Every structure is written in structure tokens, then in C-alpha cells.
């Protein structure tokens, strides 16, 4: 007998779907399943996708600048897997892990190359805080938790150090063979110089920020080097955050067929409570306003982040994969959306997560 059967759900391409789960894994996927199970979840009227993955959050409650609680940004928003993007470094990531492992939400981390993570805003202004030996030690100690590395490369973070922190991050990446996420923002480093260090698979977060040092030139076109990098496989991630998502940049990029590869929130307590982020669904709605289809936004919070971050059993509704699902409605309701620069847009469609299922456990929202 199965542990759980989810019945009568609808896929995003409007097909009926039922899923049977045992021991936290997907055992069977079909249009209809009539077998026995300990628990039946009737998903009539709901869309079912693989559990949403947020590739950029801040969820270590003991930090002062950017902090939150895993389940507040995760399961309560219909997000089954969250990746903390560099809140902590080799000196404090073990504390974070001890707390994070008790969350209902699946929590993973990108290791900040600076030892204490974002304890202060300028964690890479003093490079004595980057200790490669200890970074490698920690990565080897917590392979089930640390899935990549993070370097924040903008003026307020790096001080006078120019590209040096990025060079150090790339050296570490070569040794540990993990994904690297690079935060972009105000110069220095100038974005064209920064991009010369990036390779296929490297993740640029805050890709559609509205800052001068962003991907949009003064004529409203996407800068040539950014386009080339994108087409060569540098991964563009939204990382909305308080300051880093601009409708105009996202719209102009869409006009040139540059769609973000993944949709992430860069959520933490303040931008969750007071906006402009609020939650993952709102961030997805913003990209739908930009012109992405429902399928395109859902892929960008499931299969795409799983692939970019090396989750080999997440992101798809497939036999043998983890039994993580998000069940949601798309309702025709008016809503105002606001970007990081205060621009507002009226939309008539809302994405409303109703239930998150994590390793076969049902959490109604
Ligand atoms: Zn962030």
C-alpha cells in the first residue's frame, strides 16, 4: 500500500494527473490511480507541479542584516526547497545547519567565501576573511547541506578589492567542483569586466536589477557582453530582493529573448513582510506580467533550479524523484505588483499556493 495518493490534480498543460508516494519518493505517476493508500489527498481544482525551489533566500535567524526562518520563506509560501545564498561562511555555517535541519522545508546553503557570511555588508572588503582551506574543509564536512558557493561582487561588499574576491571564488570552485553564484550590483566591479570571469553554468543573481551597472545600456538594449554570456550558458537568476528587480530591464530583456533561467526571491524578513518581494508566487506573477507563460515560470522554479544546483532527484514529477509538490490555483483576480524601484503594474491573474507536500507530508497553507 502507498503512503499517499494525490488524486484529481491538473498539470500546467491541463492534463489530469495523480501521483502515488511511498517513503518520501514518487512511486507512480498516471492520469488516474485507483490503488489503496494510507492517505488520499484530493487535489480537485488545483494545479500540481514539482515542489517549488527558491534558489536565493536568506533564512538564518541568528543574522542581523538579512535573516528569516526557513518555514516562513519556504513551506508557508508553497516553496518546498530553499537555498540560502551565502548568509553564512565557514565560521558559522555549522550553527545554521543545526537549526535548518529541523525545518519542514528542505534547506540547503551556498557557502559565502567570507568566513562569517553577511555579518556586515562589506564581507569581502577584507580578504583575510577568505580562507580557502577552511572553506574546503567545511564543504567536505557538510556535503548534504552545502551545495555551492557564493560571492557578492558589488561596491558595498568588496571595498577596494576589485575582482580579487571573484578570482578567489573561481579558484575555490575549481577545487570543489560546485556551482558558483555571483551577486551583481553597483560598480566596481564594472559588469563587463566581471562577466569575463564567468563560465557556463555560473549563476548571476540579481540579473534584472535596475542599477547603472546592470545589463541594460542607456539606449534600452541589453549590453552585448551580457547577451553573449547568456547565450554561452551563463545562468541568469532573478534574485528579486529589496533592490534588485526592475520591470523595465526584465521587459527589455524579454524583447531580446533573454529570459531569466531561474526565478528566485532573495527573500528575508523585511522584504517578505513589507515588500516588494512578499513571496515566491508574487515574484512568479511579476515574470508572467513580463510575458513568461505559466509553464515558463513554473519550470523556472522547479526543473531549472534543480538542474543549475545539482539536485538530481528534485524539480520533476517523475518516478523515483523526491515526493515534493506544490499545489496551487491560478485565479482571475486583480492585483498590483511593485518592483524594487517602485514601478507598479496592474495584473488580473494571481498564483495562489494552497498546499505544499514535502517528502510525502502534506502541509496546507
Ligand atoms: Zn541575497
State residue 89's pLDDT score.
Answer: 98
Question: How many Cβ atoms sit within 10 Å of the Cβ of residue 320?
Answer: 9
State residue 335's pLDDT score.
Answer: 98
How many Å lie between the centroid of ligand 1 and the Cα of residue 304? 19
How many Å lie between the centroid of ligand 1 and the Cα of residue 10? 33
* Annotated binding-site residue? 235: no
Contact yes or no for 134/90 (Cβ under 8 A):
yes
State residue 290's pLDDT score.
Answer: 98
Q: Is the peptide bond before 126 cis (omega within 30 degrees of 0)?
A: no
Q: What is the pLDDT of residues 237-263, one digit of tens each?
A: 999 999 999 999 999 999 999 999 999
How many Å lie between the centroid of ligand 1 and the Cα of residue 333? 30
Instruction: Give the environment of ion ligand 1: residues with CB less than 5 A.
Output: 85, 266
State residue 201's pLDDT score.
Answer: 98
How many Å lie between the centroid of ligand 1 and the Cα of residue 58? 6
How many Å lie between the centroid of ligand 1 and the Cα of residue 228? 25
* Annotated binding-site residue? 150: yes
* Annotated binding-site residue? 266: yes
How many Å lie between the centroid of ligand 1 and the Cα of residue 201? 19
Mark the ranges of the chain whose per-residue pLDDT is less than 70.
none
C-alpha cell at 344: 507598479
How many Å lie between the centroid of ligand 1 and the Cα of residue 338? 19
How many Å lie between the centroid of ligand 1 and the Cα of residue 19? 34
* Annotated binding-site residue? 240: no
All structural domains of the chain: 2-49+319-330+350-364 (2.30.40.10), 52-309 (3.20.20.140)
How many Å lie between the centroid of ligand 1 and the Cα of residue 55? 10
State residue 70's pLDDT score.
Answer: 98
Amino acid at each position: 500500500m502507498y503512503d499517499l495518493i494525490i488524486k484529481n490534480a491538473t498539470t500546467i498543460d491541463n492534463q489530469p494527473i495523480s501521483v502515488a508516494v511511498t517513503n518520501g519518493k514518487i512511486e507512480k505517476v498516471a492520469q488516474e490511480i485507483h490503488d489503496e493508500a494510507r492517505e488520499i489527498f484530493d487535489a480537485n481544482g488545483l494545479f500540481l507541479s514539482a515542489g517549488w525551489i527558491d534558489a536565493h533566500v536568506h533564512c538564518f535567524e541568528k543574522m542581523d542584516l538579512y535573516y528569516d526562518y526557513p518555514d516562513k520563506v519556504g513551506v508557508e509560501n508553497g516553496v518546498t526547497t530553499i537555498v540560502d545564498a551565502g548568509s553564512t561562511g565557514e565560521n558559522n555555517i555549522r550553527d545554521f545547519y543545526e537549526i535548518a535541519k529541523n525545518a519542514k522545508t528542505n534547506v540547503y546553503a551556498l557557502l559565502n567565501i567570507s568566513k562569517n557570511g553577511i555579518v556586515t555588508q562589506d564581507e569581502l572588503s577584507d580578504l583575510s576573511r577568505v580562507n580557502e582551506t577552511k572553506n574546503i574543509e567545511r564543504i567536505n564536512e557538510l556535503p548534504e547541506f552545502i551545495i555551492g558557493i557564493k560571492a557578492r561582487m558589488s561596491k558595498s561588499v568588496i571595498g577596494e578589492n576589485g575582482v580579487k574576491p571573484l578570482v578567489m571564488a573561481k579558484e575555490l570552485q575549481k577545487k570543489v567542483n560546485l556551482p558558483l553564484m555571483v551577486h551583481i550590483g553597483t560598480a566596481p566591479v564594472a559588469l563587463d569586466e566581471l562577466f569575463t570571469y564567468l563560465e557556463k553554468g555560473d549563476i548571476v543573481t540579481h540579473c534584472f536589477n535596475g542599477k547603472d551597472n546592470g545589463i541594460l545600456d542607456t539606449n534600452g538594449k541589453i549590453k552585448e557582453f551580457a547577451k553573449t554570456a547568456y547565450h554561452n550558458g551563463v545562468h541568469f537568476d532573478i534574485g528579486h530582493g529589496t533592490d534588485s528587480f526592475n520591470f523595465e530591464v526584465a521587459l527589455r530583456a524579454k524583447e531580446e529573448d533573454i529570459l531569466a533561467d531561474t526565478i528566485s526571491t532573495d527573500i528575508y524578513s523585511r522584504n517578505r513582510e513589507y515588500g516588494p518581494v512578499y513571496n515566491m508566487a508574487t515574484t512568479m506573477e511579476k515574470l508572467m506580467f513580463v510575458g513568461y507563460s505559466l509553464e515558463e515560470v513554473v519550470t523556472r522554479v522547479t526543473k531549472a533550479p534543480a538542474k543549475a544546483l545539482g539536485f538530481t532527484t528534485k524539480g520533476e514529477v517523475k518516478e523515483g524523484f523526491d515526493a515534493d509538490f506544490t499545489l496551487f490555483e491560478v485565479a482571475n483576480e486583480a492585483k498590483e505588483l511593485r518592483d524594487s524601484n517602485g514601478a507598479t503594474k496592474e495584473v488580473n491573474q494571481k498564483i495562489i499556493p494552497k498546499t505544499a507536500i514535502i517528502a510525502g507530508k502534506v502541509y496546507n497553507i
